[in-house]
Amino acid sequence: MKHIAIVCGGDSSEAEVSKRSAEGIYSFLDKSRYTADIVILKGADWSCNGQQIDKNDFSYRLDGKKVKFDFAYITIHGTPGENGRLQGYFDMIGMPYSCCDVLAAALTFNKFACNHYLKTFGYNIANSILLRKGETIANERVIKEIGLPCFIKSNVGGSSFGCTKVKTAEQIQPAIERAFKEGREVIIEAYMKGTEVTCGVYKTDTKAVAFPITEVVSHREFFDYDAKYNGEVDEITPARIPDAVRDKIQQLTLRLYDIIGCKGIIRTDYIILENGQINLLEVNTTPGMTATSFIPQQVRAAGLEMKDVLNDIIG
């Protein structure tokens, strides 16, 4: 019976969300096939069941005995589990894990780099500008090149922390300052009017699975933290879109899975513009896994069980 480490926490604003995902994964696991412990990371403090993790081999001691793991299920939404750093550590000690490797994780964590990379493969994206810490930009340039309204957000954050929908010139600089509190890079991105949808997929050596698509209808200005986690949104699975559009989005998602070199379950967000064009928003390689998160919703809509999906991922 494999012993699974469900690794959560991390050093970003999403640490608490990550812990909720870990609880979700624990509840979904096939207990006849796996045993599991939740491992919490916070800076250099890595712990499991109140004991410190030995980083030499990712083990801990319980009642005087060493407890080792056979597999790590990474569910950190942010650094270090979503940007490739933790994956590099696991590669070095020979620990198998659930999600993308170092390169794919680092690329998808950088929204600007990932979207512009995928643009070279024909994916449609919004016009955007990247700012790095210490750089400034005039309001006039934002309005001329991006337009209003626009979104200003961290290039590496998630769950809409530090994200602002900007409608006036006076809001631009405060929004940039807020976004920089989440990381050292900020994206200024054109507003895309349309229907927001999200598609989960995964692949194994023997099959490719695209889940039913979810339509996201926020009760707020956009799909912000309160919409995501405080119920101020309608999440409609399957999405109310034509079959041909559904098929196209699933094909786009399975294709980028291979272009990036993904592993495990990913979720990709899109905007279907009013003219029917499908624009990429972002790729999530460690998507939320609470009972109400998009992926479990989509799995249920597909008539599948989460434990069987996780069996495919863990092996």
Domains and CATH numbers, the chain: 2-98 (3.40.50.20), 106-124+192-314 (3.30.470.20), 128-190 (3.30.1490.20)
CB 244 within 8 A of CB 277: no
User: What is the reported pLDDT for 227?
Assistant: 45
Q: Which of 84, 4, 77, 1 is nearest to 39 (CA)?
A: 4
The answer, yes or no, to whether the previous bond of 238 is cis (omega within 30 of 0) is: yes
52: number of Cβ within 10 Å: 12
- 3 state DSSP class of 286: coil
pTM score over 0.85: yes
User: What is the reported pLDDT for 12?
Assistant: 86
Element (H, E) at 188: strand 185-190
Half-sphere exposure of 245 (CA within 13 A, CB side): 22
CA dihedral for 101, 106, 15, 28, sign (positive or negative): negative
CB 159 within 8 A of CB 229: yes
User: What is the reported pLDDT for 231?
Assistant: 58
CA dihedral for 291, 106, 258, 241, sign (positive or negative): positive
Order of strands, sheet of 34-42, starting from the edge strand that comes earlier in the sequence: 51-52, 45-48, 34-42, 2-9, 71-74
pLDDT, tens digit only, all 315 positions of the chain: 999 999 999 998 889 999 999 999 999 999 999 999 999 999 999 999 999 999 999 999 999 999 999 999 999 998 999 999 999 999 999 999 999 999 999 999 999 999 999 999 999 999 999 999 999 999 999 999 999 999 999 998 654 678 999 999 999 999 999 999 988 999 999 999 999 999 999 999 999 999 999 999 987 665 544 445 445 689 999 999 999 999 999 999 999 999 999 999 999 999 999 999 999 999 999 999 998 899 999 999 999 999 999 999 999
Q: In the chain, which ranges are continuous DSSP H helix?
A: 15-28, 85-93, 102-109, 111-119, 139-145, 172-180, 225-229, 243-260, 294-301, 306-314
Residue 115 sits at φ, ψ, to 5 deg, of -65, -40
End-to-end CA distance of the chain: 11
* 97 secondary structure, DSSP code: B
Cβ within 8 Å of residue 302, ≥6 positions away: 209, 211, 212
User: What is the reported pLDDT for 126?
Assistant: 97
What would the two tokens of residue 27 be? 């509840």
User: What is the reported pLDDT for 159?
Assistant: 46
Residue 92 Cα distances to 26, 43, 85, 96, 101, angstroms: 26, 19, 11, 10, 12
CA dihedral for 302, 281, 220, 286, sign (positive or negative): positive
Q: Give the separation between CA 283 and CA 200, rounded to whole angstroms.
A: 10
The strand pair at 128-132 and 34-42 is best described as: unpaired
- 3 state DSSP class of 174: helix
Q: Give the separation between CA 242 and CA 210, rounded to whole angstroms.
A: 16
What would the two tokens of residue 4 be? 């699974």
